A and B are shown apart, each in its own frame.
Chain A
Amino acid sequence: MNRVRKKTKMVPLPSQSIVPERDVAQKPILEVSRLGINFGGLAAVEDFNIAVGPTEISGIIGPNGAGKTTIFNLLTKVYQPTSGAILLDGKDTANMNTVQINQAGIARTFQNIRLFPSLSVEDNVKIGLHNQIGYGMFSGIFRLPRFFSGERRARERAMELLDIFDMTHLASHRAGSLPYGAQRRLELIRALATNPKLLLLDEPAAGMNPSETEELMNNIEKIRDRFQIAIMLIEHDMRLVMGICEGIAVINYGKIIAKGTPEEIQNNPLVIEAYLGKKKGYQPC
C-alpha cells in the first residue's frame, strides 16, 4: 500500500550520524552520543548515537530484547546512563531526573500501558497538564480564585485534547475501565498534554488490528503536523514503521547496526540478515 505523506523538509545530515537527509540541518531537537548502560556486566545499550530533527518522525526497530525500551528509559532518566551524553534542544540533560526531563520537553508512553487507572479519563489528561495549571496547595485548599481559573483552563484544554482524538464522550469514565485501544490513545493524549518537544512512543501499535493501526498512523502524523513536534517510536509493526518514519535506526544486542530511510533499511543486507530475515512474517510493503 502506498501512503501519500507530507514529508518534512529534508536536508543532508551533519555530524557522525549516518542517517540520511532530514530536517536536522540547523538544530536537532535531540542529539545523543555514545549513550550506554550496563546491567551487571550486560551492556544493554552500547555506543548509541542519534540525532533527531525538530519535526521528524523517527523509528527504532530491532528484535525482542535488543535494548529499544532501555534507550527510552535512558532518554527519560528512568535509568541513569553509565556513559554518553544526551542533548535536548542543545541543553545537556546529564543532571536532570525524570521529572525535569519531562519539564524540559520529552514525554513518553510505555510498552505496557501505564495510566492512572482509578482516575477519570479527564483527570488523566489533567495530570498531563499539571505543570501548566499554575496554582498551589494553598489555593487548592482555600479555594482561592486561582483554583477556579486554573481548573477551568485545565478542563477546557483537556477537553480540547480529548476532542482531537474523539474521546470527549469518555471523559468521565475511569481510565482503567477503558478498552485497550482507548487506553493507548489516552496515554498518548496524556503525554501530549505535557507540551513536549519530543514524543517517545513505545510500541504504540502493539495489540492493535490493521484498521486501528491505520488510524494510529494517521494520528501520529496528525500530531506531528498539528503540534510541530518530533516523534520517535519503537515498533515491531513494519507497515507502520516503513509507512510513517522518515529515519530509522535498527538495534541488535544494544548496538545500532543500521540507520537510514525506510528504503535504505529495507535494502540493507545487515538488517535483512539480523532482523528482517529472522522474522519472515514482517515483510515490509
Chain B
Amino acid sequence: MRSLRLRSNIDNLLTYGLVIIAYIVMRILITSGNISSSLQGQLVPITAYIVMAVSLNLTVGVLGELSLGHAGFMSVGAFSGVITATLLTDTIPMTWLRLALALLIGGLIAGIFGFLIGIPVLRLQGDYLAIVTLAFGEIIKNVMNTIYLGYDANGIRISMESANALQLAEDGKVILNGPMGAIGITKLSTFNAGFVLILITLFIVLNLINSRSGRAIKAVRDDKIAAESVGISSWRYRMMAFVTSATLAGAAGALYALNYTTVVARKFDFNTSILVLVFVVLGGMGNIRGSIIAATVLTVLPEVLRAFNEVRMLVYAVILILVMLVRNNLTLRQLFQKIGIKRRNSLANNKEGDDS
C-alpha cells in the first residue's frame, strides 16, 4: 500500500493540472474561433459553479455536514459584490482591481453570514445545519426581493418600498431594484478571472485539507466525541470549514453576478443549492477533482440537451437518488468492486503477458 500522504500530493497535482490544461484548451479554442457562442457564454458561469461545488464539498464532503442553502451565500456574495463594484466605478478605473475587490467583499460578507449562522447551529448535533441553511437560502431570496438600494452624490439610500422611495437626485443610480434584482451592472467578470478564482479556491481548500486544521476537520467528521476527547474543539473546526465554504461561495456569487447586466435573487434559489449539491454528490464526497468535473459536465450538458431542459431538475433528482442508492447498496457496491478487481486483474495479466 502506497503512503496515503504521497497519494494525496499526487492527487492534488493532478487536480491543478486538470484545471490548467482545461483552461489552456479553452483558450486555444477561443482564439481559433472553434467554440459556439452559447458555450462561450457559459464559461464564466461554469467557473463560478466549479468554485461553488468545491466550496460546498468542504462542508458536505470534508466536514460531513449537509448544507441545503449554499446558493444563499452565493446570493449574498453576488449582491454585495455588485454593490461594491458599482460604488467603486468612479474611484477605481482599473476593472480587474474593481472585480478583485468585489469578489473579496462578496466573499467576506458571505463569510460573515456563515459565521452568524454557525454560532448557534454548529454547536448542535444532527441535521440542524441542513434545516437552517435551507431556511437561510429562502430568507435571503425573499429579503433581496424587497430591497431597493441606490446612490447619488449625497450617499447611499436604502428602502424596502420602491425605487422612488429612495428619492435619488438627478445623477443618482439605482443598484438594487427589488424583485427586478441588481440592474445596470457593468460586466467585469472574465473567463481569466474565473480561472484565477478556481486556482485560489483550490489553493485554499486543498492546503486547508492537508494541514493541521484540515486533519482536525476530518477528525470531527469521523467522530465528534473522539475528537473532543483528544482536545479538539468540534465547534471551532466546524466553523472554520463552514465559514471558508461560505466565503468562497460568496466570491463565486460575485463572479457570477458581474458576468451579467442584471441579476435577480430567484437565480440563487433552492434549485441552485440542490444543483450544486448534485455536483458534489456525483463528483464524490470529499473528492475535489470530482466536484470540478461534475460541475463542468452538468453545466454544459443542459446546453447540449436543450430539448430536455424542462425536465432537467427531474433528471437531477433522479440521478441524485440513484447515486445515493448505489453508494449505500451493498450488493451494488460489491458488484462495482468486483468489476474493479476484475479490471485490475486483467491489467496485471496483460503486464505478465508483456513480460513473457
A22 at the B interface (CB under 8 A): no
Q: Which residues of chain B from 176 to 217 have any CB-CB distance to chain A below 8 Å in the complex?
A: 203-204, 207-208, 211-216
Query: With A118-B218, A123-B215, A140-B212 in contact, do A130 and B230 touch (Cβ < 8 Å)?
Result: yes
Residue of B nearest to A126 (CB): B215
What separation, in Å, do the CA atoms of A141 and B214 have in the docked complex? Answer: 10
Q: Across the interface, do B212 and A133 meet the contact criterion of CB distance under 8 Å?
A: yes
Q: Closest Cβ of chain B: how far from A147's Cβ, in Å?
A: 6
Q: Across the interface, do B212 and A116 meet the contact criterion of CB distance under 8 Å?
A: no
A58 at the B interface (CB under 8 A): no
What separation, in Å, do the CA atoms of A115 and B218 have in the docked complex? Answer: 12
Q: Which residues of chain A from 91 to 120 have any CB-CB distance to chain B below 8 Å in the complex?
A: 97-99, 102-103, 107-108, 110, 114-120
Query: With A116-B226, A118-B222 in contact, do A135 and B212 touch (Cβ < 8 Å)?
Result: yes
Q: Across the interface, do B227 and A127 meet the contact criterion of CB distance under 8 Å?
A: yes
Q: Across the interface, do A191 and B230 meet the contact criterion of CB distance under 8 Å?
A: yes
Main DSSP-derived SS at the B contact region: helix
Query: With A116-B222, A117-B222, A133-B212 in contact, do A193 and B3 touch (Cβ < 8 Å)?
Result: no
Query: With A137-B240, A140-B208 in contact, do A102 and B231 touch (Cβ < 8 Å)?
Result: yes
B169 at the A interface (CB under 8 A): no
Choose one: B207, B216, B240; the contact of A130 (CB below 8 Å): B216
Query: With A98-B229, A137-B211, A140-B208 in contact, do A119 and B222 touch (Cβ < 8 Å)?
Result: yes
Choose one: A137, A150, A191; the contact of B208 (CB below 8 Å): A137
B232 at the A interface (CB under 8 A): yes
A142 at the B interface (CB under 8 A): yes
Q: Which size bracket describes the interface of B in this complex?
A: 20 to 34
Chain A residues, Cβ within 8 Å of B4: 120, 123, 172, 174
What separation, in Å, do the CA atoms of A123 and B5 have in the docked complex? Answer: 10
Q: Which residues of chain A from 168 to 192 have any CB-CB distance to chain B below 8 Å in the complex?
A: 172-174, 190-191
Residue of B nearest to A139 (CB): B211
Query: With A110-B226, A137-B240, A140-B213 in contact, do A103 and B3 touch (Cβ < 8 Å)?
Result: no
Chain A residues, Cβ within 8 Å of B1: 172-173
A143 at the B interface (CB under 8 A): yes
Q: Across the interface, do B203 and A141 meet the contact criterion of CB distance under 8 Å?
A: yes
Q: Closest Cβ of chain A: how far from B104's Cβ, in Å?
A: 16
Chain A residues, Cβ within 8 Å of B221: 118
B170 at the A interface (CB under 8 A): no
B90 at the A interface (CB under 8 A): no
Q: Closest Cβ of chain B: how far from A188's Cβ, in Å?
A: 12
Q: Across the interface, do B229 and A172 meet the contact criterion of CB distance under 8 Å?
A: no
Residue of B nearest to A195 (CB): B231
What separation, in Å, do the CA atoms of A88 and B229 have in the docked complex? Answer: 16
Q: Across the interface, do A116 and B218 meet the contact criterion of CB distance under 8 Å?
A: yes
B352 at the A interface (CB under 8 A): no
Chain B residues, Cβ within 8 Å of A135: 212
Q: Closest Cβ of chain A: how far from B159's Cβ, in Å?
A: 40
Q: Across the interface, do B215 and A172 meet the contact criterion of CB distance under 8 Å?
A: no
Choose one: B3, B213, B226; the contact of A115 (CB below 8 Å): B226
Q: Which residues of chain A from 124 to 171 have any CB-CB distance to chain B below 8 Å in the complex?
A: 126-128, 130-131, 133, 135-137, 139-143, 147, 150-151, 154
Choose one: A151, A154, A193; the contact of B230 (CB below 8 Å): A193
What separation, in Å, do the CA atoms of A110 and B225 have in the docked complex? Answer: 10
Q: Across the interface, do B212 and A130 meet the contact criterion of CB distance under 8 Å?
A: yes
Residue of A nearest to B286 (CB): A118
What separation, in Å, do the CA atoms of A122 and B215 have in the docked complex? Answer: 11
A194 at the B interface (CB under 8 A): yes
Residue of B nearest to A193 (CB): B230
Residue of B nearest to A127 (CB): B219
B223 at the A interface (CB under 8 A): yes
Q: Closest Cβ of chain B: how far from A232's Cβ, in Å?
A: 15
What separation, in Å, do the CA atoms of A131 and B232 have in the docked complex? Answer: 8
Q: Closest Cβ of chain A: how far from B8's Cβ, in Å?
A: 10
What separation, in Å, do the CA atoms of A131 and B236 have in the docked complex? Answer: 13
Q: Across the interface, do B213 and A137 meet the contact criterion of CB distance under 8 Å?
A: yes
What separation, in Å, do the CA atoms of A108 and B227 have in the docked complex? Answer: 11
Q: Closest Cβ of chain B: how far from A179's Cβ, in Å?
A: 15
Q: Closest Cβ of chain B: how far from A117's Cβ, in Å?
A: 6
Chain A residues, Cβ within 8 Å of B204: 141
Q: Closest Cβ of chain B: how far from A5's Cβ, in Å?
A: 29
Q: Which residues of chain B from 284 to 306 have any CB-CB distance to chain A below 8 Å in the complex?
A: none
A78 at the B interface (CB under 8 A): yes
What separation, in Å, do the CA atoms of A147 and B225 have in the docked complex? Answer: 27
Chain B residues, Cβ within 8 Å of A122: 5
Residues of B near any A CB (own CB < 8 A): 1-5, 203-204, 207-208, 211-216, 218-219, 221-223, 225-233, 240
Would you mind naming 5 contact pairs between A and B with Cβ atoms under 8 Å apart?
Answer: A107-B229, A110-B226, A115-B226, A172-B2, A191-B230
A110-B226, A136-B213 are known; give 20 further A-B pairs, CB within 8 A.
A78-B225, A98-B229, A102-B230, A107-B229, A116-B223, A119-B218, A120-B5, A126-B215, A127-B219, A127-B227, A130-B216, A137-B240, A140-B212, A151-B211, A154-B212, A172-B2, A172-B5, A173-B1, A174-B4, A191-B229
